[in-house]
A = this chain, B = another copy of it.
Amino acid sequence: MLQQLFSPSVQHTVDLVGIFVFAISGALLAVRKNFDVFGIAVLAEVTALGGGLFRDVMIGAVPPAAFTDLGYFLTPLLATVVVFFLHPHVERIQAAVLVFDAAGLGLFCVSGTTKAYDYGLGLTASATLGMATAVGGGVLRDVLANEVPSLLRWDRDLYAVPAIVGATMVVLCIHYDALTPLTTALAVVTAFVLRLLAMRFHWRAPRAWNRRSTVREE
Contact = CB atoms under 8 A, between A and B. Distances in A.
DSSP class of A's interface residues: helix, strand, loop or mixed? helix
Interface in A33-48: 33-40, 42-43
A152 B62 CA distance: 27
Copies of this chain: 3
A153 B39 contact: yes
B67 A125 contact: yes
B60 A63 contact: yes
Nearest to A33: B218
A181 interface: no
Interface stretch (A6-14, A104-112, A199-207): A199-207
A211 B40 CA distance: 13
B60 A154 contact: no
Interface string A115-156: 000011110110011000000000100011111110111100
A144 to B, nearest CB: 6
Contacts of A146: 143, 146-149
